[in-house]
């Protein structure tokens, strides 16, 4: 699988994403600086986590207006796969490729821990290596991961199967205590209607090998590879 990772000023998870993609796909991703206006023909474009432009204005708002973003949007329009993790998720909502917004965490505090996610829809490009209802462990580290959308949008996400991951407890229940940031409907990750763009606050790239404490994030990348075969 050929991939590219877009780096913005203050991105700090781009190396994690590079390493995960290289180890799982066997090919080094293309490194794209945010001022680049062209992106090579790839199967996947990844927007990594971090604090692009220092999170000034709104998280992801300035990055969403970088020159490289036009090429990202064109790739998605052609049906190419795009993922945004943490700050990348915020960028995708600011671009308008995904609905809703990421607000300040309900606690008003930065959260950094491993959470449990329920795979809500395993019949997608990004989740097919998992099973429906499977509970996986994935780390989170963010200050603005509180997903918000209006009631009509939330109903559409639910009805269309666009919710990929939801925060749950170890028993697979979407409780308030299992929700690290106050996201509506315990939403951790969503897709666009077409199913080729996904954003999620947790970091699957940080849990792909035993040395990191587990391999639950590996299925996320393997799903994308499966979808290309």
86 is catalytic: yes
The candidate with the shortest Cα–Cα distance to 62, out of 10, 114, 99, 26, is 10
209 is catalytic: no
211 is catalytic: no
Catalytic residue among 34, 86, 143, 185: 86
Catalytic residue among 13, 75, 120, 205: 205
Q: Please tell me the distance from the alpha carbon of residue 98 to that of residue 61, in angstroms, as a whole number.
A: 13
Catalytic residue among 142, 143, 185, 203: 203
Q: Which two tokens stand for residue 168?
A: 């749950």
Q: Please tell me the distance from the alpha carbon of residue 82 to that of residue 101, in angstroms, as a whole number.
A: 18
Cβ neighbours around 54 below 10 Å, total? 11
**140 contacts: CB under 8 Å, gap ≥ 6:** 86, 111, 112, 113, 114, 115, 180, 181, 201, 202, 203
Active site residues per annotation: 86, 203, 205
């Amino acid at each position: 699988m050929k991939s590219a990772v877009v780096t913005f000023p203050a991105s700090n998870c781009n190396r994690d994403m590079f390493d995960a993609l290289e180890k799982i796909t066997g090919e080094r991703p293309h490194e794209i600086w945010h001022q680049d206006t062209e992106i090579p023909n790839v199967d996947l474009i990844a927007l990594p986590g971090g604090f692009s432009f220092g999170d000034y204005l709104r998280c992801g708002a300035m990055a969403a207006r970088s020159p490289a973003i036009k090429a990202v949007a064109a790739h998605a329009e052609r049906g190419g796969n795009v993922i945004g993790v943490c700050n990348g998720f915020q960028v995708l909502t600011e671009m308008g490729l995904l609905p809703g917004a990421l607000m300040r965490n309900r606690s008003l505090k930065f959260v950094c821990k491993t959470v449990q996610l329920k795979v809500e829809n395993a019949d997608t490009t990004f989740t097919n290596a998992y099973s429906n209802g499977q509970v996986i462990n994935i780390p989170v580290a963010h200050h603005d991961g509180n997903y918000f959308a209006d009631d009509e949008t939330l109903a559409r996400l639910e009805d269309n199967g666009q919710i990929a991951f939801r925060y749950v407890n170890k028993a697979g229940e979407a409780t308030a205590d299992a929700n690290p940031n106050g996201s509506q409907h315990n939403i951790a990750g969503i897709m666009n209607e077409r199913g080729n763009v996904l954003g999620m606050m947790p970091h699957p790239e940080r849990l792909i090998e035993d040395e990191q404490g587990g391999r639950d994030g590996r299925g996320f990348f393997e799903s994308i590879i499966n979808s290309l075969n």
